[in-house]
Each structure stands twice: as C-alpha cells, then as structure tokens.
Structure 1
Amino acid sequence: MPTAAEWIVFLGTAALFALSPGPGVLYVLARSLRGGRAEGVRSVLGNAFGASVHVLAAALGLSALLAASTVAFTVVKIAGAAYLVYLGVQAIVRRHDDGEADSGGVARRWARSPLLQGMIAELLNPKTALYFMALLPHFVHPETTPAPLVFTVLGLIAVFLAALVDLAVAVFAGGLSSWFSRNPRWRVRQRVAAGLSMVGLGGFVAVTE
C-alpha cells in the first residue's frame, strides 16, 4: 500500500481529477437538468458502476491491453461518442415526454434507465481506463502488498471521490430542473438544451485524443 506521503499525493490527485469537468460529470449535469434529482442520482450511480469496472480491469491488467492497441482504443472511443450522441438525440425527440406509461414495457423502460445509460457511457470511455493505468502504478509496492489489491482499493477510492462531486452536481442541477418543471415551455427548452449538450459532448469525446 502507499506510504503516508504517497497517500497525500494520491488523494490530492484523485480529488483534482474528480473536480475536473469531464464526460461523466457533464452527463450527470445533462440528465439532472432533464429529469431532476432522482434521475441525476441514478446517473451518478451508473457512472460509478462503470468506473468501478474500469478499476477491476486495471487491476487484472486488461486496461493495459486497451492502452496498447490504438485500434481498440479508437473503436471504444467512437462507440462511446456515438452512444452519447444517441442519448442526446433521444432526449430531444422525447422532449414532450412527461413520464407517462411506456407502451414498450419493462425492458424498454430499463433500457432508458439513467443508471444503465450512465454505466454504459462510462464503460465506453477509454480515457477512464487510461487514467487508472497512468495514476495507480505509482502507488503500488508489490513487495509489500499484491498489486491487484492496491489497484482495486485506490481505484475505488478515486471512484468514490468522483461520485461525491457528481452527486453535488446532480443535487444542484436537479433543483434547477424542479424550477423549470413549473413552466411547460421552459421544460421543453431545457430538455432540448440537455439533449444538445449530450450531442456536443459526444462530438467532443470523438475528436479529442
């Protein structure tokens, strides 16, 4: 495990990363503005679950394979960007939907779940995997503690810190959503804006290295 000095460096670095506006927190912001605090919190949980999978992949060495393959990295990045654009378009198309019963049944409602969508969006963000691969090895001392255990513990701490920031965003943006909900016209405009934000986020993810 890290030394006392390394813990300070790790926690500071993880906190800075959590506070940096990235695809995850912007996704939570868009979903919270569209659907309120409850939808925002589910988005936060989805992001956290997806990031936790990246942590386990890093602990098992799978993230190193992704980082070493330019083709695999590009495919995952483009898939993630396309998924964000799809979610944005769906938000725009369903801007007048006030949550009435969905004729598509349970499966369709689950597919639209912000928890599931947040998890998929985070899983398709290869930069999360690269972040863990770049940060965590500096704090691993295999001669004292097995590397997979250290990767998992430190990675989950980083995920927890990021989730706290996401949660704060969800609560704040969810409050704004409640204000918008009192005016149907503003509600529709806000949902279109949230959809356009996700489309723009998808484009940003696609073009950034």
Structure 2
Amino acid sequence: MFGISDFPLFVGAVMLLNVTPGPDMAYVAGQSIAHGRRAGILSALGVSVGGSVHTLACALGLSALIAASPAAFTLIKWVGAIYLVYLGLQMVRRNDATSAVSSALRPSGSFVVRGIVSNVTNPKVLLFYIAFLPQFVNPDSHQKTAALLILGATLVALGFLTDCIIVYGTARASGLIRKRTAAAKWLNRIVGTGFIGLGFRLATSTR
C-alpha cells in the first residue's frame, strides 16, 4: 500500500533503534531528571514534532538539498551543538533548591520548543531520515511522498512511546535521588556535563 515495502521489518528496525542510546534519548532523560516527569513528556513531544519536521522535509526532498549543501549542514550542526552546550551549562550551574519551583512556573511550551530545537538542529537525524526511510519505499511507486509520510509518522509515534517509557523510569529514579540535596546537585552536574559532551561531539562530527 502506498508503495511501502517490508513494513513489518521497518517497524522491527525502528523498535530496535528506539532502544539504542542516542542524543534524543539522552535529552529526554536529562530533562526528566532535571525537571520531572511533566517536563520529560513535553520534551518528548517536542522531539516528536522535530521528527515530524524531518519527515516532511524528507518527503518533499528538502532534506536532500540541505544535506548536499556543506554550508547549510555546518550551520545546522553548530546551532545544535551550541544549544546543547547552553543547556548543559544551565544544568551544571542550577541551584537545585529552586528547581521544582522554577520548573512548575516555566511555560509548558518552553519544554516543547526545546525538544523541537534539539531534534531539528541535529544534522545526524536529518541524514538518518534521508538514508533510512527511502529503503522501505518501492522505487517504482508513484506515491513516494505518501509512503515517506506514513513511514515517518510511524517512526515518530513509536519514538514518542519509547521516550514516554524512558521519562517514567528516569523521573521516578531521580525523584528518589532528589530527596538528598547533595546527591541532587551531583546529578545535575553529571547530566549537564553529559549535555555539554553531546554538544562537543556534535560540533566535531562529520557526515
């Protein structure tokens, strides 16, 4: 249907990919640890919206054009790297005593926007969509756009469900740790340092 081939294989591959640690998983888990379950779910929603943007771009052929432009690829890479480092520094410097209050007062949309920016500015995700989705589209199909949209939507939906499971587990574990102030401070520093590391890794990555 719609020129999609080996759909069960696609679903199986996506499920395996979703449980493989990566930047999106680290980001969602980090937000859950830092701000709680609500922030984690909203961050996962933002990542899913970012995945939807990549899906649309892939279906319309825009991702291939960006990937073919070294300047555009480099720009997106550096924006994403700087943003991850910024988030990491915020967590390292954060006063945990006020974290619960600040997180509760922060608009829900801010977590969603952060998730979108984190995902959309990762060129590795862009290249993944270009390389992965077309493999499950029949080359002779006249409905390639529809096929890519369906595959992308499936990828995003399964990813969101996986992220929600991760959010629940990490938020529950961090809640127990945060009962001890010293442990909570070190937790912030560890997660923040991880974000900074992801930023430097992205900055030094190549195609």
- One-letter amino acid of the counterpart of residue 176, structure 1: A
Structure 1 equivalent of residue 57 of structure 2: 57
Give the deviation of 1:48 after TM superposition: 0.6
**Ranges in structure 2 where 5+ consecutive residues have no aligned partner:** none
- 2:28 corresponding residue in structure 1: 28
- Displacement of 1:140 in angstroms is 2.2
Preserved CA contact (<8 Å) 2:84 2:198:
yes
Give me the whole-angstrom Cα distance separating, in 2, the residues matched to 1:65 and 1:33: 37
Out of 101, 114, 118, the residue aligned to residue 111 of structure 2 is 114
**Cα distance in 2 for residues equivalent to 1:87 and 1:20:** 22
What residue number does 1:205 align with?
Answer: 202
Deviation at 1:64, TM superposition (A): 0.6
> Partners in 1 of 2:102 and 2:22 — Cα distance?
33
Give distance in 2, aligned partners of 1:111 and 1:158: 24
1:158-207 CA distances to partner (integer Å, 9 max, x unpaired)? 11122222222111110111102211222222112221111111112222
CA–CA separation in structure 2 for the residues paired with 1:182 and 1:17:
34
Q: Give 1:2 shift.
A: 4.6
Q: CA deviation at 1:110?
A: 4.0
The corresponding residue for 1:183 is 180
Moved more, 135-144 or 161-170: 135-144
Q: What's the counterpart of residue 170 of structure 2? A: 173
Matches of 1:132 and 1:94 in 2, distance apart?
Answer: 35
Residue 126 of structure 1 pairs with residue 127 of structure 2? no
| 1:71 equivalent in alignment to 2:58 | no
Task: Give distance in 1, aligned partners of 2:95 and 2:193.
Answer: 11
Shift in alpha-carbon separation, 1:59–1:88, aligned structure 2, 3 A: same
- Measure, in 2, the Cα distance between the counterparts of 1:126 and 1:110: 28
Q: How high is the TM-score relative to the length of structure 2?
A: 0.89
Q: Distance in 2 between matches of 1:112 and 1:16?
A: 30
Give the unaligned 5+ runs of structure 1: none
| 1:45 corresponds to | 45
Q: Is the 8 A contact 1:88 1:197 kept in 2?
A: yes
Q: CA distance change for structure 1 residues 134 and 75 in 2, over 3 Å: closer, same or farther? A: same
How many residue pairs match? The answer is 203
Over the aligned positions, Cα root-mean-square deviation in angstroms equals 2.2
